Structure 1
Amino acid sequence: MGIFKTCSFRRSASPAAADNQPNSKNSSASLCGEKRLLKESKMKDQILMKLVNSRLASPENVFRWEANIIGPANCPFENGDFAVSIHIPTSYPFKPPKITFITKIFHPNVNKKGEISIDILGSQWSPSLRIDLVLLSICSVLSNPVEPFVPGNPAVMLYQQDRNAYEKIARMWTLEFANA
């Protein structure tokens, strides 16, 4: 709730004035997103920090973050260090961020470009979600893939038909690409 208190939408006296004023609704939404993201970037949870390390890519741009996700225990990605890129729209928190794996990963919810297919980054996005919580959810999905899976992804068929073979390849990729 505290994150939302800093957001306010100002209205100009006339529609024509709104076009020329930085106080238009779009500017206010962007300012709201900036304030919230600055606050979120300073939040540090000790439990979360063991699994996710997120940071602003540049102090000049709060809409661009980087993070590293540590593969959770007891899964093929255990102890892997996976770099992700986070692009946050100026309409945040009303629109979800776009989070992409930079580190190559063999997973049913990640396509070959590193794009992640999970509902909270799409149809189930909620303004109550924060970047750190989304990253924690992605960490959870590493050990427990969720449908819908990425169509045409070779990891999907293997995951569904031969879990041992899937886990073997995922472990190999983790060792090779995630510096585990």
Structure 2
Amino acid sequence: MICIGNLKFGKFFTSRNSGKISPATFSKSSEKRLWNEFQEEDHILKAHVRSWLPSPENIFRWEATINGPAGCPYEKGVFAVSVHVPTQYPFEPPKITFKTKIFHPNISKKGEIFVDILRSRWSSALTINVVLLSICSILSNPVEPFLVSNRAARLYREDRKAYVKVAREWTVKYAKG
């Protein structure tokens, strides 16, 4: 941070007295970054994830589909997710939830995703697209810690074949392309 007189200059301009960034400054900065992320062209991303804005006026709300990766129980499934981005983004993580029912050790019955990059290990260096690709990867390789009361987590630990069977059944039943 650079100080000139009573003004402080850093990544954002701050007021003379508060030393805090105003919510409007966060929002505008977040909005600009999100537009850049949304317009990003990435062939790897497009092979696995498709995203769009339900309302072009609201860059803080995305919808996406994630294709189930080959060689896992979610193969050939298309999973709808909802992305809600806080106005403090990228300093706070997005809230991403599965709209499509899925049987997975890191995903609750309500579609909440429990992985460290969306919680304690969030980094402002991450982008929405990187997170969506990471979620795609997690479908192939669930990560610890799993949800304690999650039936999928229990089966994944105790009977991998039964877990794969149920996950495939749910994919066929709920994640049709």
TM-score, structure 1 as length reference: 0.88
Match of 2:59 among 45, 58, 62: 62
* Alignment map for 1:103-118 (pairs within 5 Å): 103-118=100-115
| Structure (1 or 2) with the greater helix fraction | 1
1:157 maps to a residue whose letter is: R
Deviations 1:5-57 (A, max 9, x none): xx952234556xx9xxxxx6221111110000011010020111010011222
For residues 106-131 of structure 1, the C-alpha deviation after alignment (integer angstroms, 9 at most, x for no partner) is: 00000000000000000000000000
1:65 and 1:110 map into 2 onto residues whose CA distance is 19
Q: CA deviation at 1:145?
A: 0.3
1:22-171 alignment to 2 at 5 Å?
25-171=22-168
State the alpha-carbon separation in 2 of the partners of residues 127 and 13 from structure 1. 26
Residue identity opposite 1:62 in structure 2: I
**How far did 1:79 drift?**
1.4
- Given that 1:9 and 1:25 are in contact with CA atoms closer than 8 Å, whether structure 2 keeps it comes out as no
CA distance in 1, matches of 2:124, 2:116: 14
Equivalent of 2:14 in 2, 11, 31: 11
Equivalent AA in structure 1 for residue 12 of structure 2: F
- Over aligned residues, Cα RMSD in angstroms? 1.8
CA distance in 2, matches of 1:12, 1:114: 40
Aligned length: 168
Instruction: From the superposition, tell whether residues 155 and 43 of structure 1 become closer, same or farther in structure 2 (CA, over 3 Å).
Output: same
Q: What is aligned with 1:21?
A: none
Post-superposition offset of 1:99: 0.3
Q: Detail structure 1 runs of 4+ shifted over 6 Å in the superposition.
A: none
User: Within 2, Cα distance between the matches of 1:58 and 1:39?
Assistant: 17
Q: Are the equivalent residues in 2 in contact too, given 1:100–1:115 (CA < 8 A)?
A: yes
